[in-house]
Structure 1
């Protein structure tokens, strides 16, 4: 049975008590693998690794490879699900649209987060919504050395897209021959809206790596097959028309998120997604000298997905009904011809990257990274009606791409003494190209493209120069200041239909983003840090140029959108123990001209498109604790709780949203992960995740949260046991959503899911 809603304040108090009791009980001996430093930021970095700058003036959370082994991880984004203030929009295993929410950034603002793999950008900044997620699948969970998450845009080293958070994933490189193979299987049972069946899948992966002198390589391949639970249900608002032809049965009476009665008549639109994904990843490094390393990365990800639909309706003869006029409980409805139309999606993507850099502990370091991400094939095929291979529509994004170049130099003094400086400066370039077109199809499943119906595209480019100086003022006091100068332009924007077209003029903007942070090492165990930063997040190609045509009239896009203008402040206190660290942070962010898709209710007819929201203000606080050998040896505990008040302060185009909590940002989030290393070969983990009430509308008109289309609060538990059966075999079994909590974030999220896995390694 699902649990009753659990109030956020109560959970926060419970976790606070857990943190306090764990702090009092933490007296175990030091663990050399978790050594910490009070130099600005807590980072357990491996030697010769420069993926995280040691002078970052902001909060950093780290997830190690050892911790990942003790969690239920199938896709790499699973590594983030227990971090403070984080929420992962992962609707099922293998969901390609897994965006994240953090602090005052919602999961519909994907361009306000950055994801890197070994310095190569995986963030899809062509757009800013659920359809533009990071390309997580270019990384293998089993190949990661660690994942570091940087909160906010407080460092001049990263662009304004870091307003939410920056995720840095680092690939481990082998020291000797390694051969691994892993098999995972998972299943869930869904009993919801007339559906009563099992959904699941499997993942298989294999890697090989070795080091020979200066040369090292790591190559991996994997295949994922997953049948997710139904995501979208076909609903009809309760009709006021009575009587009519063709009485049908099978509809389910329900209440919608808006509090109004409705009929649920089947599964449509995205429906139930069945996906096959193939991945390949190769990373090669060569130590030119003991201090200079070159790297090469190649990634491949392809997907073949089917959106399966189903009608619940049956006529008097028991035959399924898909379209046309029907009568349900004496009320008349008309179902469109394409209401239950199936669809497919095919994707093929390539990542190419190269790096060259030094990794000295002191003195000068220089590094460069160049990357190219190619969306070689990106095609959606949608039927016009319920048919196996009748007419339909093809939407193709083939050729959309992005490329980046980063050059950085830094100097670190031999010792951190008063009046010494650690300086970093560099150059950044990125270019994005979007090319979308849709065509009529005579045969929707396999036919060639017919007449063009619509097209849109364009490019954006950003160049940046930055400088950051970490100045040790006196013993215990460190001032980090920096600035980032960015020049942005949008060009080659266009939209067209079969009969009309328009091109957009080139735009250019330049902005400078200052940063400052003051850290005080109060004692050997306490660090205080106050940071402030300005950041600009420029509009994406999709936001500027993707809209729609109504006849020959252009609607639904605005090429004059302003960049988001964010001013953030953060005050953190960190307490270090020999076996762990505790942190408390308060933060505030004022974001002007927030870019968000909304309806302009001040004009008639209403217009829905991406608009600038006047001001969104975020205030919040986080508490976290992370330690090993708490209470007794072998017991590890991670606990965190966060309160976020993100308020729409000014929004002249939608006044009803003013004073309301912003879209899909809960007031309370909390996580608790407890691991007992029972023996040297066995570990047991129990984890809990809580999210408070969210809203799927800016004006909070979705008043009924616990239904399809609503946004529930939820408390779920996950469990896992790992057993090292031999020196070459690791076994694991786990359960996600242990109590089978039924909850929604617009879509229904997974039911209780069982996972088993076996890993073989030489």
Structure 2
């Protein structure tokens, strides 16, 4: 379940026994070797038709191994202390090289109808011997048996299990004759996809698995997987939202996309070319991951790992995607319907998606291919308005009806005259993944992601003239040569192309990732990885302010904004050192990330929908680079104490910054001088197993979030928006800490976390509406100091009072205020003591899921967020209005029907209570979804 410390299929540093092991699936077989307990846990899952319980036995224990020597291979001489491990046989010599480093042999004979003993799989290689030793140690503990699962395809998964067990065994002190039972580090031996997040840092982590998503989330986009996690929110406005879906966390709002780090299989998806949505938009590239390919999602809260840049100050999210162990094929069809009513306008918006994937593993080579198509209509997101205070006394103008009177976010009277920016997006996604085992302990992999988006942005005037015709421009006043309309006899500026914009976007982006990684579990392991994200094509066409509808629908004057050539690249060399004879695991690394912004806006006098670029209107370009070296030591001080110390050294450079505002040189171009700065960011964490049921943790870390290329150089302007850059911005510097207590009481698992953050020179992009210019103007600035404290509590239970009933929930309280700021919005000092934008005082999630039987399950979830502000001076007191940020309380429903082994269907309702809420734009109203899925 989501949002609690322990849930089905989750990984949590505090849990020594799972609440529910993952269910086996045809594509990802699971096998688990659990320590035996004094009694069968009440929270253990009921056996399924595909997974039968193995009766308690002493298999794998020392006595059984002595009685069955063939199960662990031929006798061996004791290893020489300090000697390197013997070379492992190559998988090509074995029947099934599904997991490198584990050879396969004919199982020892056994009687009865039960499953084959597992220990025969753990032999020959040092890696496998370590796994066998770990299993034997667990079996020899003074614990009685618990049930385990033996599935039909156990051997392949058991190999993966043994490898993970071996890796954890190598982290134990080599000098110990018998490894002590670890209370601080959970060794979860299972075949699930490993996370790329650091697992040896005792800090807050949450996980969502593929099973969780299937059972409880109406997932239409990758970001939906985070929906019910504590303190997280993705500002997703419609299905396929590609330019505003920004992740917020405890002390980072939905306008700060550069304060979180999102990865997929270790490849960067976060867009650090800019921050937020001022000017251009910079959300993570969610479209490069589809819900169907997700195996699990891991989230680490806070900047407590030296392996990540200062952008990790909010949260680090890592998507682990699937890789086949045998031939598989999958297909999914889904549809969604949103009946919407707002400002007296009733419309129904629809979306559909289709996905197909195929993959296989043959010998040392595995591959996977996915194709995905989304066709989505979103609700209107912006609205053309006229402030009542701007009404004139003139009598010239077109008399109109249809305007809707209301209050804006500052409680000022205004009239809404129409809807703008209603997107219809058609997105295609292709993902190819290749992997090859160069040796039993070395794997090379490559990922190609292609994403294409054709998006139409449309708008609609609600104004009607006396004949009932739509009004998109007013009558011209001969004296002023300006257009006016008359609303209830009052004169207002007439509509223009800026009020009712028409946009046409064609985007084609490519992602490449390549890595070579060792996984020996010995003294040294290493990884060399590189990635590239390229804006191959990034065109946005928009009508000019002087080209209103309906003529703009067929062409006329406009602009073409071209972002091709923009992108980023990453390069990393990482190492893990496990010094023999010590209780230390040291992570080391060198990294380099480079970002390039190139954005050219040209005017088109003829047909903006089809013509080539014309005269230069503006151009921005620039580059930044971050080079880093880090080291981090995890030290198991004793059975009950663990400490982590880390240091990250960074060198940041900004260069080649330039802005052009005219083809004629008036105003003149600006070239900015290069900049470079150096920073050190220490990290520390400590954990103590206070009792067998409780662990206490403390973490502290410094993060330096560098200014992005767009914030430094990205001055952009369109008919209805403008962004003002600042090349002298300071990096944002934060100290973040947390204290946590995690405990379990039988079926209940809980966590209580106190967190605090102090940020100096916080980088903020503030958007305000200029009524005179009739456009949104954004400018970026440093805020001297922001202080945040808060408390986060989670609770989860499995089979709570009723078998099959799982519950989870979270509550977060946050106090985040601006402590000092030399700048201001309207008057000096008007931001000091105000709430940090987009951070609510209260947040909560709740989720209940019930499995009626093996075919039917259902879930009911709820989310709550309290009052927020969007402006630095908190002047937006009315959250329930366009440009405001409101509280919300919504519920979601999902029903899953597993028809048979291959077919499944689901039905869901999001925003079940049809709550109307805002975050600058309006969120979706009640939406109905249905899906049909096939797995071969």
Q: TM-score, normalised by structure 1?
A: 0.92
27-36 vs 688-697, which moves further: 27-36
Cα distance in 2 for residues equivalent to 1:608 and 1:327? 30
Task: Kindly report which structure 2 residues correspond to 1:633-648, keeping only aligned pairs within 5 A, or say none.
Answer: 633-648=803-818
Cα distance in 1 for residues equivalent to 2:190 and 2:916? 39
Q: 2:490 aligns with which of 324, 331, 356?
A: 331
Does 2:510 correspond to 1:350? yes
Q: Is contact 2:184–2:688 with CA below 8 Å preserved after alignment?
A: no
Task: Kindly report which structure 2 residues correspond to 1:284-683, keeping only aligned pairs within 5 A, or say none.
Answer: 284-324=434-474, 325-338=484-497, 339-384=499-544, 385=547, 386=549, 387=552, 388-412=554-578, 420-441=583-604, 442-497=606-661, 498=663, 499=665, 500-547=668-715, 556-576=724-744, 579=747, 581-598=749-766, 609-654=779-824, 655-683=829-857
Cα distance in 2 for residues equivalent to 1:372 and 1:434? 14
SS in structure 1 opposite 2:645?
A: strand
Partner residue in 2 for 1:60: 205
Could you list the runs of 5+ residues in structure 2 that have no partner in the other structure?
A: 1-18, 20-39, 46-147, 150-160, 169-181, 475-483
Cα distance in 2 for residues equivalent to 1:64 and 1:237? 49
Does 2:237 correspond to 1:91? yes
- CA separation of 1:65/1:220 partners in 2, compared to 1, >3 Å: closer, same or farther? same
Q: Is contact 1:535–1:566 with CA below 8 Å preserved after alignment?
A: yes
SS in structure 2 opposite 1:595?
A: strand
Cα distance in 2 for residues equivalent to 1:370 and 1:240? 58
**Cα offsets for 1:710-758 (capped at 9, x unmatched):** 2111100000000011221110000000011111111111010000000
516-525 vs 293-302, which moves further: 516-525
Q: C-alpha displacement at 1:403, in angstroms?
A: 0.3
Q: Is contact 2:265–2:319 with CA below 8 Å preserved after alignment?
A: yes
Q: Is contact 1:594–1:612 with CA below 8 Å preserved after alignment?
A: yes
Q: 2:392 aligns with which of 241, 266, 272?
A: 241
Does 2:218 correspond to 1:72? yes
Does 2:300 correspond to 1:150? yes
Q: C-alpha displacement at 1:43, in angstroms?
A: 7.6
Cα distance in 2 for residues equivalent to 1:401 and 1:323? 39
Q: C-alpha displacement at 1:48, in angstroms?
A: 7.5
Cα distance in 2 for residues equivalent to 1:233 and 1:452? 29
Cα distance in 2 for residues equivalent to 1:335 and 1:757? 46
Q: C-alpha displacement at 1:523, in angstroms?
A: 2.4
Q: Is contact 1:39–1:54 with CA below 8 Å preserved after alignment?
A: no
Partner residue in 2 for 1:251: 403
Cα distance in 2 for residues equivalent to 1:406 and 1:580? 41
Q: Is contact 1:49–1:359 with CA below 8 Å preserved after alignment?
A: no
Q: Is contact 1:30–1:579 with CA below 8 Å preserved after alignment?
A: no
Q: TM-score, normalised by structure 2?
A: 0.75
Partner residue in 1 for 2:417: 265
Could you list the runs of 5+ residues in structure 1 that have no partner in the other structure?
A: 1-22
SS in structure 2 opposite 1:657?
A: coil
Partner residue in 2 for 1:7: none
533-542 vs 352-361, which moves further: 352-361
Partner residue in 2 for 1:728: 902
Cα distance in 2 for residues equivalent to 1:557 and 1:296? 37
Does 2:254 correspond to 1:107? yes
Q: Is contact 1:516–1:531 with CA below 8 Å preserved after alignment?
A: yes
Q: C-alpha displacement at 1:520, in angstroms?
A: 0.6
- CA separation of 1:347/1:44 partners in 2, compared to 1, >3 Å: closer, same or farther? farther
Partner residue in 1 for 2:100: none
- CA separation of 1:45/1:409 partners in 2, compared to 1, >3 Å: closer, same or farther? farther
SS in structure 1 opposite 2:712?
A: helix
Cα distance in 2 for residues equivalent to 1:45 and 1:673? 25
SS in structure 1 opposite 2:710?
A: helix
Q: C-alpha displacement at 1:580, in angstroms?
A: 5.8
Cα distance in 2 for residues equivalent to 1:482 and 1:322? 61
Q: Is contact 1:285–1:296 with CA below 8 Å preserved after alignment?
A: yes
Q: C-alpha displacement at 1:46, in angstroms?
A: 4.3
Task: Kindly report which structure 2 residues correspond to 1:191-210, keeping only aligned pairs within 5 A, or say none.
Answer: 191-210=341-360
625-634 vs 726-735, which moves further: 625-634
Does 2:442 correspond to 1:280? no
Q: C-alpha displacement at 1:59, in angstroms?
A: 0.8
SS in structure 1 opposite 2:326?
A: coil
- CA separation of 1:555/1:82 partners in 2, compared to 1, >3 Å: closer, same or farther? closer
Q: Is contact 1:103–1:164 with CA below 8 Å preserved after alignment?
A: yes
Root-mean-square deviation (Å): 2.4
Q: Is contact 1:106–1:665 with CA below 8 Å preserved after alignment?
A: yes
Q: C-alpha displacement at 1:42, in angstroms?
A: 9.4
471-480 vs 37-46, which moves further: 37-46
Does 2:926 correspond to 1:752? yes
Count of paired positions:
727
Greater gyration radius: 2
Q: Is contact 1:153–1:163 with CA below 8 Å preserved after alignment?
A: yes
Q: C-alpha displacement at 1:290, in angstroms?
A: 2.3
**Cα offsets for 1:36-69 (capped at 9, x unmatched):** 9853589887468351322124211000110010
Q: Is contact 1:30–1:578 with CA below 8 Å preserved after alignment?
A: no
**Cα offsets for 1:266-298 (capped at 9, x unmatched):** 012xx2111000000011111222221111100
Q: Is contact 2:195–2:320 with CA below 8 Å preserved after alignment?
A: no
